[in-house]
Amino acid sequence: MPAVVIVGAQWGDEGKGKATDLLGSRIDFVVKFNGGNNAGHTVVVGDEKYALHLLPSGILTPGVTPIIGNGVVVDIEVLFQELEALSARGVDVSRLRVSANAHVITHYHRTIDRVTERFLGKRQIGTTGRGIGPTYADKINRVGIRIQDIFDENILRQKVEAALDQKNHLLVKIYNRRAISVDEIVDSLLAYADRLRPMVADTALEIHHALEGGKTVLFEGGQATMLDVDHGTYPFVTSSNATAGGASTGSGIGPGRIDRVIGIVKAYTTRVGAGPFPTELFDASGDFLRANGFEFGTTTGRPRRCGWYDAPIARYSARINGVTDFVLTKLDVLTGLDEIPVCVAYEVDGVRVDEVPVSQTDFHHAKPIYERFPGWSEDITGVRRFEDLPKNAQDYVLALEAMSGSRISVIGVGPGRDAAVVRHDLLG
Ligand code: GDP
Ligand code: IMO
Ligand code: MG
């Protein structure tokens, strides 16, 4: 089972980091293929808690080679901060490889991200403010800076000049900000050149060699299906392809090489930032999920919006990503509820709709149609076999499986590394 993709099936924070960590020592390479330090993965190993943003979660497993693929946007200052913090805690980060083609997040991208959000006023997206959107915009607009440019001062200067030419007009004349100097940007990037050089590689070629050599490569998606720039709730999305197709373009392997696609889905739903969310709760049930699931952002600390499980979204994700297996996380968070509603379809302007509507307006108007399942009160965090779960918990999982378009192979019952019930081997 050499090439395995992990993607979020909802609006992020499903527990992708933990799922990656769960596969641990069976993985040889882990490749981050999209996004940047907008991601926030919390991984709990024993008593230690790690919060990762830019680096792939697989970096925590000894012996794994972590790769930052060409589809990622890299804030170099953050890269070194994370590497130093992990080294200080005894994590071996020496194997990290960074694609020469990955784009660089600079000071002006972060500034523009924050200033445009402010100008959007009540229409704002609620971005993480990390410069993600403006960096991808420059990439598509062909005025981006790539990692390889940092090793050629002359080229770097020309590219920064070209990028800042227009932006400084915008910053000064429209946004009432100071102009950013070319020297300031060039010098700040050049300062990292020597430390960066040994990590930079033709990562597409290295991944190719790894797969040819029979190694197991895990492609770790940041964000999630409903935040994907093509398939998510546009414009309330991130600026990259967080779906399984992104693993191919964001790392440089052919789509036919992918053997398995693992969708990570929470036993309920959360969302950070603005945009439609049919099953969102504004009552005590939402507070229950937020408190029990500790639903506060790893990156920005914002409280996450919480709601019930949405089966049409799970089916949509199964289809868009070609999910072969779901990992259902945070089942333990539902313990103590008398009954658990699950959205099985929507009502849009008086009409029942079974799938995620293609029209954005319809999705905004979609009201969930709920089916209610009986809850359980037993603590399930110590359970490791499916048949040891309370009957109502088993039935809840089986009901979700029947409506979600793929089998549920692993069930998360707690934040810890081994707090999981495995029904089918994810790599078998
Ligand atoms: P990611 O962005 O998809 O990697 O997810 P985050 O790390 O942002 O958020 C998931 C949170 O849920 C983290 O704090 C995890 O430690 C935690 N978590 C993951 N799986 C489980 C689970 O099965 N049960 C509980 N209670 N917590 C979990
Ligand atoms: P992980 O990998 C949840 C959201 C932001 C905002 C929108 C655009 O931890 O699941 P951006 O800064 O990317 O331009 O913001 O996307 N967002 C996330 N929400 N989890 C994430 O990552 C997210 N990354 C971005 O809140 O609504
Ligand atoms: Mg997260």
Interatomic CA distance for residues 159 and 86, integer angstroms: 32
Q: Of the residues 7, 10, 16, 18, which should be mutated to test ligand 1's pocket, given the most ligand atoms within 8 Å of the CB? A: 18
Residue range 126-140, pLDDT digits in tens: 999 999 999 999 999
| Ligand 1 near 103 CB (within 6 A) | no
Cα 67 to middle of ligand 3, angstroms: 19
Q: What is the pLDDT of residue 299?
A: 78
Residue range 245-255: average pLDDT? 98
Greater confidence, 417 or 367? 367
DSSP 263-322: EEEESSEEE-SSS--TTB--SHHHHHHHHHTT-B-TTT-PBPEEE-EEHHHHHHHHHHHT
Cα 137 to middle of ligand 3, angstroms: 23
Instruction: Say yes or no to pLDDT of 298 above 90.
Output: no
Instruction: Say yes or no to pLDDT of 257 above 70.
Output: yes
Residue range 97-128, pLDDT digits in tens: 999 999 999 999 999 999 999 999 999 999 99
Percent of the residues in the chain that have a pLDDT greater than 90, as a whole number: 94
Cα 103 to middle of ligand 3, angstroms: 21
Shortest-distance ligand to the CA of residue 224: 2
Q: Which atom of ligand 1 is nearest to the CA of 222?
A: 2
CB 410 within 8 A of CB 426: yes
pLDDT band at 300 (very low <50, low <70, confident <90, very high): confident
pLDDT band at 352 (very low <50, low <70, confident <90, very high): very high
Closest CA to 10 of 415, 305, 337: 305
| Ligand 1 near 149 CB (within 6 A) | no
Q: What is the pLDDT of residue 184?
A: 97
**How far is the CA of 222 from the CAs of 131, 261, 382, in angstroms?**
15, 14, 29
Q: Of the residues 227, 266, 270, 271, which should be mutated to test ligand 2's pocket, given the most ligand atoms within 8 Å of the CB? A: 227
| Ligand 2 near 72 CB (within 6 A) | no
pLDDT band at 1 (very low <50, low <70, confident <90, very high): low
What are the tokens at 59? Answer: 């970096």
Q: Which atom of ligand 2 is nearest to the CA of 12?
A: 10
pLDDT band at 147 (very low <50, low <70, confident <90, very high): very high
Q: Which fold has domain 3-93+202-422?
A: Adenylosuccinate Synthetase; Chain A, domain 3 (3.90.170)
Q: What is the pLDDT of residue 13?
A: 96
Q: Which atom of ligand 2 is nearest to the CA of 130?
A: 12
pLDDT band at 319 (very low <50, low <70, confident <90, very high): very high
| Ligand 1 near 12 CB (within 6 A) | yes
pLDDT band at 302 (very low <50, low <70, confident <90, very high): confident
Q: What is the pLDDT of residue 297?
A: 86
Q: Which residue has the tokens 């890269």?
A: 79
Interatomic CA distance for residues 231 and 356, integer angstroms: 11
Residue range 163-191: average pLDDT? 95
pLDDT band at 301 (very low <50, low <70, confident <90, very high): confident
Counting beta carbons within 10 angstroms of the beta carbon of residue 285, is it exposed (0 to 12), middle (13 to 18) or buried (19 or more)?
A: middle
| Ligand 2 near 116 CB (within 6 A) | no
Residue boundaries of the structural domains of the chain = 3-93+202-422, 103-197
| Ligand 1 near 221 CB (within 6 A) | no
103-197 has CATH 1.10.300.10 classification? yes
For the annotated catalytic residues, the residue numbers are: 13, 41
Residue range 15-67, pLDDT digits in tens: 999 999 889 889 999 999 999 999 999 998 889 999 999 999 989 999 999 99
Q: What is the pLDDT of residue 374?
A: 98
Q: What is the pLDDT of residue 16?
A: 95
* Residues linked to residue 271 through DSSP beta bridges, in sequence order: 305
Q: Which atom of ligand 2 is nearest to the CA of 273?
A: 27
CB 303 within 8 A of CB 369: no
Instruction: Say yes or no to pLDDT of 295 above 70.
Output: yes
Query: Of the ranges 160-164, 173-177, 315-319, which one carries the lowest mean pLDDT score?
Result: 173-177
